[in-house]
Structure 1
Amino acid sequence: MASGDDDDPIIEEIDVYLAKSLADKLYLFQYPVRPSSMNYDDVNHLTAKIKPKQQRVELEMAIGTMSPNYCRSKGEQIALNVDGTGYDETNTYSSKVMDKQSFTSIQATTNTSRYAAAVFRKGELHITPLTGILQMRPSFTYLDKADGKTREREAANEGGDSSQEEAEDEVKAITVRFARPESEQARQRRIQSYEFLQKKQAEEPWVHLRYHGVKDGRSEHERQYLFCQAVDATENSELVKTPKEYLAMLMPPQAEEKVVKPVGPSNVLSMAQLRTLPLGEQVKTLMKNVKVMPFANLMGLLASGTDSTSVLRCIQQVALLVQGNWVVKSDVLYPKNTCSPHSGVPAEVLCRGRDFVMWRFTLERSVMRKEITATIKLPPEDVKEFLEHVAVPRVNRGWEFLLPTDVEFIKKHPDIAHRQHMLWVGIQSKLEKVFNFSKEDFMPKNASQPEPVHVSGEHRLKMAQQRAEEKQSSLQKDLDAKRQSAQAEGSVHIKQEPTSDREDEAMDTSSPSSSSAIPNGSVNGYPGATSPMFDYTNGNGGSPATTPSPELQDFVAKTFRKHFVLTLNEFKRLFNLHLASMPVGHSSFHSVSDRLLQDAILLSQCKQIPVPFPAQTTAAPDEQKVFGLWESGETFDKHRRLLYEVFMKNYRIRRNMIQARLTQEFGDVPKTDVDRLLKECCSSHCGMWYLKGTIQS
């Protein structure tokens, strides 16, 4: 504290254990009308019973009638009013005096997920979740019984005067009426009525219990279950949450209840009501009901005079382009925190499965239901619903896309078609990671695919430098030849000409994939979309470039100064998003291959980190290529380089090992520097730390 380095020092660390032996049967009793100094521990408990489903408890406790504070005359009067002068087994007070009182519970809260009982012993804290929190309040049902006795006595006294009237009533005719069948609305009202709820609560039987005092041996035995029975150090996991996240877990913000306005049936859409909504809501409502439609049909459903540019801006928020037609996005149909009405599958899983179905339709006109089910592994009812949204079954052809390809829209709006294609490329990379497939799995069998060539980062950097030197040497030779020719002809005008793309292509021999031809095909009608990722031509017959452009180098530098560590697959995804966000007609990135991207990374003060993945890894080749920022011009670079060296020996490391290596190399390293290093370069899972993007499922 004197040095001022830490205003909030750690005094002691306490291990916390979760005890589950009493997790489903532990209740907290509160006595709000009784001061804490006057507990009921020493009071004789006569009976106890519980209704587990309702979490309702009743206790009977003895009253000290021999206490000097007890008024015996009042106790006898209450017993007389309740039970009368006669003796019966059903009497509340058999001793003719009020010698006991009852307590009935009410639930203090219906959600006990934030509450637990804790026991501290020998430097360990053991917590047990609470099943319920009950407030025990005195019950005055004996007063109701006394009132009933009074009414019975009054009715008996008046019984003689009404004997003649009862005799006359006996000769009256009786009319029999049959009740009409109960409607569904009447049944719902009856179920929600207070009388029905009271009846349902009364139907649950009481479970009688035996009370054991605080000092009883059985109570002491049960208290031992508040401690964790199996303490296994191997199961302990490190808390990797930030202080804000941990506080949010302890005290989650309470969501305000919103009043839901009554809506009509989901399959009924009033055009008059629709046109009162904002344009974005109109488009969203139409797409949610229709699922798939051409853009021309959408414009026909909107009010006349609607600006098509505004509609295009709105449609891209709620739909994706498939074969020139707009299909509603999966997260619009399956919002967050919902589930399938057929199987109960969460919305997040449904969205991934439906995106896979839509992506398959961007590649081909028809798909087979068996192939879809085998890949996404969802129940048949959900898969059928996905297909029915966008396709129709055909004999011997599987499911064919519902609408013909809208070529006119693609020709009229090539910028939107290109942007949608880039979005699908990003979605494809996510689906490949989730479902563990590659695009080549769904290509025709006779389609020739180039064999992947894996070259280390150091080797690629050397080859890029060698190509640049060869290109410079070739250029110098051309200049010398032209200079000699000019001198021979007496001309002094020497013009430097750039080397052609063909010469660059001839020197590009390190990777067969860079020089492979682009297949003839289309996704969403966009030419060349079925080619390998990033291998796009410039539209003029040019080939992929072999030297990174300044724009590409600038993008690489900015990206790695923001993320520090990236796999090749993740970097390609970020590059796709960057291309999709660029203005229409931008020509900075016409032809970018995987090899060119890696060269640009290595030329931007980055290096490839040879992470030793396990032999049985499921990571794709692009996920096993990990690049890290090596030089950024700040003193913190040495910490990152040391971290990379640690991960060259193992693909997952514990925090204490990283801390020890930093301390060994640089002396006492502050905790803030370690936290910064891990936040910039790593991610955690199950107490272990991994370089970003290398966590294995």
Structure 2
Amino acid sequence: MATEDDDPIIQEIDVHLATSLAEKLYLFQYPVRPATMKYDDVTHLSARIKPKQQKVEVEMAIDTLSPNYCRSKGEQIALNVDGTSTDDSGSTYTTKHMDKQIFSSIQSAVNTSRFAAAIYRKGELHVTPLHGMLQMRPSFSYLDKADAKHREREAANEAGDSSQDEAEDDVKQITVRFSRPESEQARQRRIQSYEFLQKKQAEEPWHYLHYCGVKDSRSEHERQYLFSQLAGMVETSELTKSPSEYLSMLMPPIEEEELKVPLAPSNVLSMTQLRTLPLADQVRTLMKNVKVVQFANLMGLLGSGVDHTAVLRCIQQVAMLVQGCWLVKSDVLYPKDTCSPHSGVAAEVLCRGRDFVMWKFTQDLWVIRKEVAAVIKLPPEDVKDFLEQMAVPRVNKGWEFLLPHDSKFVKKHPDVVQRQHMLWMGIQAKLEKVYNLSKEDMMPKKRDSQPAVPVVLSGERRVATAKERARENHATLENDHRRRRPGAGAEPQTSGNSLLAIKIKEEPLSEDEPMDTWPGRRAANGIHSDESSRDSVEERLAARSQGDQAKQVAAELRAFVLGTLRKHYVLSLSELKRLFNLHLASLPPGHILFSGISDRMLQEIVLDCGCKQILVPFPPQTTASADEQKIFALWEAGDAFDQHRQILLEIFSKNYRVRRNVIQSKLCHDVGENLSKPDVDKVLKDCCASHGGMWYLKGTLPS
């Protein structure tokens, strides 16, 4: 088996768990310092720690004799911080120049249960869990002291000037106010505020430490605790856990980690912590923070490797489509049983008012604040809060939607746009009933008829609008050029629609259709011009154009499927859809494949191209989706390996994973000749992938 295995075992190493320093071991990182410039030879003056917060401060000396040290600047900084006082007891720099700096820590990882320090010795690997990972950065607290000194001097000068004009026995009136009882909601907001967290952190006392250098004997003694003290004393047994239990031990469930995450201010979003959440929670958290975003930018925030379809499914649960962009839903920002932070209005009323503002932006790029306030009848602070979340004010114009219209998303996802349109129709009916609005109030107003200042689009919007119109005009001209035929005479003039006359002229008569029976020709000659004739001509032309378009779509789709399968040979339906989406992204705007391709149409084209669906017997506990379990393979590629690939595919119709020696013996038996190793590798590389010494069909490899 060693010769057949693609990944042989080279060496086995015993791993020991050392726990002597498990609750004391920290990893220090210096992100602003190159790895070649260590602090081992720098004099460490002091060190202190707050264990609960895992906050460390280290004071290091600065080489004032270095040619790179500016002595005048150092003296100026010391003068600004300590002033001209001769008392050295409370001074930061006793030498009257800046001769030290302080490094303060921040946590680089909230949960360090998955990290450890390892040391290798005599064929054994000793692993010690990390208690914390800290990034040490220079602290500039001395600048705060300098600013405080400056303010004290200014206050003293002002007090000295004003005391000359005031009497010493001035009587001042004192107003006494009694605070109301604090509500539960106010208490929760106060607890989660940044000031409260800063106060709680300041209450923990510092514990001063003694620093030992790397080469110090005490450091060498402590490093011995990185080795397991029980190594070689206890006979260890083999692992008896199942694979799923072992993975659970290595990767604890996310729910357990969330309990250890400390509370953070509501306006702080950690991208590192965000990536540990499920995809739905990531999308929800991002939308609560950004409020409005284009779909392409949202995919960029989520990072690479995220499924496009899954994100699209999640975003529709927490946001609505406005101007082609995604705007967070009102009930996400204002959950049930909450109230406005400005006026105390209930969340239900806030959601209705905000939905009305969102709906107004679906009708127009501009919204007038007074018109909105007159309808929803909410306090001005809440109305302004709604508008600031999704728009920007323009002088003498109103509030303009925050982002430009995302036409790319609208063209690429017409099904999502249609679904969102139906949702907005339901919201519109609800708003009409709640606010007693008439049909005229719900219709978008024409700004040309208003006496206000005309709307002037920004420069970016003008460029985007001009480009969009240019694309539409170019597409229209191309379509007209295709439909025009050489040798056409003058266009017939009728009393009806001129566009109808042009369409009638562009379509030639069929050979089995007499001239006097064609309604379009009669209308062109003035014989017959009723509405039924005109409708029948348009329907006939539309049916013919749709048939031509369907043939062209099928041809384009067939070319893509054949080209893709000749390159990959075996694909799952989900992978084929992903490659097709990438192909669509590379096409120019207005391409015929943007008309909408359904999954059923894609599967029919695949089967029509000479491909076959391989019914791979997936294991019962598989987590693959229905699209991932549909495996298609190119049955005949027209080369010398067609028979070999067909035998291989028949093997995988009985088992979802096979060893290489089984495949090779089956190929040699059925083909009737001894295949060389390069030929077997060619067939396996075309259709399969290797994992753990076993071979799987492409698309069935376990994650």
Fold agreement, TM-score > 0.5: no
Task: Give the structure with higher Rg (CA).
Answer: 1
* Greater share of helix: 2
